[in-house]
Amino acid sequence: MATRKQNTATRRGVPQTIGNIVGDMMIEKGLTRGQSSETVEAAWRNAVGDEGAPYSRPGRIRRGVLEVMVSHSTMVQELVFQKAELLHSLRRLLPDTKILDLRFQVAPIDDK
């Protein structure tokens, strides 16, 4: 019964458009980027540092998982060891983007 009263009280707040509700829900669930690719790339370079940036590039964020392309398997292993630290840095640098996990895959890296 208490749950029903809470829901009723919540509905009495300021009306929101369906677009705002759906957009907020998608960001909360990690179903959207929430940030531009340039912002994510800059945050990745900052998090991974000068040692890892030339060998890796962030890809897209799908369901809260940031896909990262890495030039070779040795670097993938190094990034896996640093995964918790990288996630912490990315969450701090991109507070509006819900990043739940990182997925590394070996792929060619374009020089920028």
Q: What is the pLDDT along the chain (112 residues), one digit of tens a residue?
A: 555 555 554 556 777 777 666 666 655 555 554 557 899 999 999 999 999 999 999 999 999 999 999 999 999 999 999 999 999 999 999 998 999 999 999 999 876 5
Provide the residue type at 68 as one letter. Answer: V
Q: Is residue 32 part of a domain?
A: no
Residue 18 lies in a domain: no
Q: How many domains does the chain have?
A: 1
pLDDT computed for residue 9 by the predictor: 47
Q: Has residue 91 been placed in a domain?
A: yes
In a domain, 13, yes or no: no
Whether 29 is in a domain gets the answer no
At residue 14, the pLDDT reads 72
The domain of 85 spans 37-106
Query: CATH no. for residue 61?
Result: 3.30.300.180
Residue pair 64/100 in contact (Cβ under 8 Å)? The answer is yes
What's the gap between Cα 9 and its chain centre?
33
7 domain-assigned: no
Angle made by CA atoms 34, 38, 43, in degrees to the nearest 5: 80
In a domain, 88, yes or no: yes
Rg (CA), the chain: 18
Strand, helix or coil for residue 15 = coil
17 part of a folded domain: no
pLDDT confidence of residue 28: 58
